[in-house]
Every structure is written in structure tokens, then in C-alpha cells.
Chain A
Amino acid sequence: MTQDDNKEGIKGMANPGRYGIERIAYLLMRLTGLGLLGYFIAHVYETSNILRGRMGWDEFLAMTQTTEGHLFLVLVIGMCVFHTGNGIRIMLGHGGVGVGKPARPDYPYDPASQNYRHKIGIYSSIVLAAVAMMYGMAVMFGE
């Protein structure tokens, strides 16, 4: 601890344990966003291998045909589905949709913006991502 702002830093930002499912969704959104960005860059690089002709393309594509490659793609599917589902929820929220209505607050002051609609949005994004990952696994490993 120093005399500065006593900021918690990245550790505090990423600590999902204290503030409910909404904070977990916040963390997952960041991680999946960065993961997808990484995948997107790698994807552009990978597809640019077409310039090396059919051999080069096939060679590179073979990397995704391994068990590790399959697991990686399953992870990408999960990240994609969660990021999209939760992204739609956040975009609606950011526009002020579904965040409740101002009202005279009463003890115990449950915040209306942290309501069941948004919780359902988060949980269904997680469930959808899990289902998509299982489907992906069934397709890739099921041959």
C-alpha cells in the first residue's frame, strides 16, 4: 500500500468473487472479447496461408485436426456464443433498456438495474455457450 490512490489494480478488477453474477459476466465479456480478438488475428494469419497454395493451406489446416486443435476450436465456439449473447444484453442495457424504472428506494434497497431480466440474459448466454460447445465437440470428436 502506498500513498497513492490505493487502487486495487487489475487483480481487483478481475476478482469476480464479491459482486454477484453481473461482475462475473463483466469479466467473462472482457476475457472472451480479448480471446476473440486474438483468434481473429490468428484467423486472418491462418487464412492468408492460401497464398502459399494448396499445400500450404492444407498443412496449416491440419493443425486444427488434432485433439488440441479441436479443443481450441470448441473454446472459440464457447467464447463466440457467450460474447454475442451477453453482448446483446449489454447493448440493450447500455441503451437504458431493461434496467428498471426509478422509484422511491426502500430498505433493503435491492437495485432495480440488477434485475432478473439481466440475470436471465447472463445465465442463458452461459448455457447457450455450453450447449454450443457440446454440439461442437459432438461434431468434431464424434466421427
Chain B
Amino acid sequence: MAQVSSIAEEQAPNPLSASKSVLLRISRFNPETDESNKFMEFSVPYQKWTTVLEAILDVKKHFDHSVAVRYSCRQATCGSCGMLINGKPRLACFTKISELNSDVVTVEPMNNFPVIRDLAVRFERLFDTHHKIKPFLIRDDTELESNEKEFLQSPEELENFIQFANCIKCGLCNSACPTMTTDSSFVGPQALAQAYRYVADSRDKGKDSRLDIIDESHGIWRCHFAGSCSQVCPKGVDPAMGIQFLRGYLLGFRS
């Protein structure tokens, strides 16, 4: 289906100074009724600062409210709006149309996640694998019982893991990962990076149990250091770095 609609200038709430417009192609797919996806095309005006998410919301407002898209914070913090934008996994709220340098913007649901409808995908598996690596401090005592008020940590110790704590669970890394394109059981870069986040935390004592969890046939050994996860991460987490450090422990390069 290639039906092109465009937003009439007088319909827009604020008169738009720029006359630039972009062809937004949105993948439409309802797994309950459709055999395959179809693209709907819309001509959408944009400014230098207009994000892809804003363009999609424009379409929902003016043409077709039924376009399914998940979003919340609009500021790269909640991790809801990941999708394929011109073939690459990105956050729609963090991607400006102007930076894509293209007259056509194609949005599709993220790969390697089951589609709920249109651009919205299921996150159950990502949350499961995240949970599997025990994303919490493991130790025998608790802050509530100890004499000190809290477990102290130096600024240097914080630097060792703070980068990995930036993860917003958006799933872009899992969508870019070449292993995940064929292996649904792979634990994935998101969870592995979080395993490292806790292993590198000086307050945590659960290193051995976490290394045990990821040392399995669909665990860390399926990573081939292609680095695509790190290239798409919108928060600078660099999962590939954390994964190689973890493997360094397992191979005896690090202790």
C-alpha cells in the first residue's frame, strides 16, 4: 500500500516556518490479522530539531490514530521508543530527522523482538534475560543491618561501573546483535552488559554466581565481538566492552 498523505499547513497548530518536508514510511502490521507488513506513507513537515517520534505523533494526530507506537519520556530516558529508523535500531525520540540526511524516513519495528502491532514490540524476553543475571547487589549482609548507614564506595570505584549503569533497557543492542538475528535463546548484549555492571561494583559479592549464569551454551560464548551493540547504544553503555571484560574473567585473563 502506498498511500501518500500530507499535513495541510493550516491544520498544523503552529504555522511552520520551514517548508521542508520528509516522506515518512511507517510499517503497519497486526500479527492477529495480517500476513505481512505494509508501508503507509505520509509527507510530514519538519524543522531542524524535529525528532522521528514527533513526526510519528504528527501522523497519529492528523491522519491515522491507529498507528501503534510506544513512547513515554521523549528524552532518551525510558527506553520505550526503540525502532528501526532507515534500517538501523535507534530511539525515535533521540533521532532528529535532519541528522538522517534523507528525504525518506522508514520506520519499522525493532528486529529480534516479537511484534505486538506496527512499531510496538514485546519486551518480555529482554526483561527475563535482564532478570536472569540477578540485577541487584548480592551479599550476605544488608545496609539495614550493618552498623554503617550505607555501603561506602569511592569515586574511583564508582567509575568502574557507572557507564554500564546508564542502560535504559531500550533493547537497541539486542536488535543490532548478529547472534540474536538467528538465536532466540542467546542471553544478549543487554543482559551481559548488566552482568558486568554488577560484577564491577565494589559493593557486590556475586561475581562467581553471575559468571556461572552466563557460562552456558547460549550464554557469553555466543558473542563474537562484532561490536554492533555498542555502535547503536544511545547511552554510551558499550556492551561489547563489558562482555569482553566478563570473558576475560572466565578465560583467566583477568581476576
Q: Whole-angstrom distance between the alpha carbons of A9 and B184 in the complex?
A: 10
A interface size (C-beta, 8 A): 41
Min CB gap A98→B, angstroms: 9
Residue of B nearest to A10 (CB): B182
Please tell me which one of the listed residues B111, B238, B251 contacts residue A100 in the complex, with CB atoms under 8 A apart.
B238
Taking a contact as CB atoms under 8 Å apart, the answer to whether B241 and A99 are in contact is yes
| Interface pick from A66-74, A108-116, A133-141 | A108-116
Please tell me which one of the listed residues B160, B179, B227, B233 contacts residue A22 in the complex, with CB atoms under 8 A apart.
B227
Q: Is B79 an interface residue (CB 8 A)?
A: no
Taking a contact as CB atoms under 8 Å apart, the answer to whether B181 and A13 are in contact is yes
Residues on B with C-beta less than 8 A from A95 are: 244, 247-248, 251, 253-254
Q: Whole-angstrom distance between the alpha carbons of A37 and B212 in the complex?
A: 31
Min CB gap A84→B, angstroms: 16
Please tell me which one of the listed residues B110, B227, B251 contacts residue A111 in the complex, with CB atoms under 8 A apart.
B227
Q: Is B203 an interface residue (CB 8 A)?
A: no
A97-B253, A99-B240 given as contacts; is B247 within 8 A of A2 (CB)? Answer: no
Min CB gap B158→A, angstroms: 9
Residue of B nearest to A105 (CB): B236
Main secondary structure of the interface of B (DSSP, over half): loop
Determine the interface band of chain B, counting residues with CB < 8 A from chain A: 35 or more
Residues on A with C-beta less than 8 A from B237 are: 105
Q: Whole-angstrom distance between the alpha carbons of A13 and B224 in the complex?
A: 12
Contact code string A102-122 (vs B, CB < 8 Å = 1, else 0): 111111011111100000000
Taking a contact as CB atoms under 8 Å apart, the answer to whether A20 and B234 are in contact is no
| Interface pick from B29-37, B53-61, B130-138 | B29-37
Q: Is B245 an interface residue (CB 8 A)?
A: yes
Taking a contact as CB atoms under 8 Å apart, the answer to whether A113 and B230 are in contact is yes
Min CB gap B233→A, angstroms: 7
Q: Is B166 an interface residue (CB 8 A)?
A: yes
Taking a contact as CB atoms under 8 Å apart, the answer to whether A6 and B115 are in contact is yes
Most buried by B among A9, A30, A95, A102: A102
Q: Is A52 an interface residue (CB 8 A)?
A: no
Q: Whole-angstrom distance between the alpha carbons of A27 and B210 in the complex?
A: 30
Taking a contact as CB atoms under 8 Å apart, the answer to whether B115 and A1 are in contact is yes
Most buried by B among A1, A93, A113: A113
Q: Is B170 an interface residue (CB 8 A)?
A: no
Taking a contact as CB atoms under 8 Å apart, the answer to whether A93 and B225 are in contact is yes
Q: Is B231 an interface residue (CB 8 A)?
A: yes
Q: List residues 72-130 of chain B with CB under 8 A from any CB of chain A.
A: 87-88, 109-115, 121
Residues on A with C-beta less than 8 A from B240 are: 99, 111, 113-114
Residue of A nearest to B158 (CB): A104
Q: Is A54 an interface residue (CB 8 A)?
A: no
Q: Is A5 an interface residue (CB 8 A)?
A: yes
Q: List residues 211-255 of chain B with CB under 8 A from any CB of chain A.
A: 224-228, 230-238, 240-242, 244-245, 247-248, 251, 253-254
Chain A residues with CB under 8 Å of chain B are: 1-10, 12-13, 18-20, 22-23, 25-26, 29-30, 90, 93-97, 99-100, 102-107, 109-114
Q: Which 9 A-B pairs have the closest CB atoms?
A: A105-B236, A96-B248, A109-B236, A111-B230, A95-B253, A26-B226, A3-B31, A113-B241, A22-B227
Contact sample, A vs B, 7 pairs, CB 8 Å cutoff: A18-B88, A96-B244, A96-B253, A102-B163, A103-B163, A111-B241, A113-B238
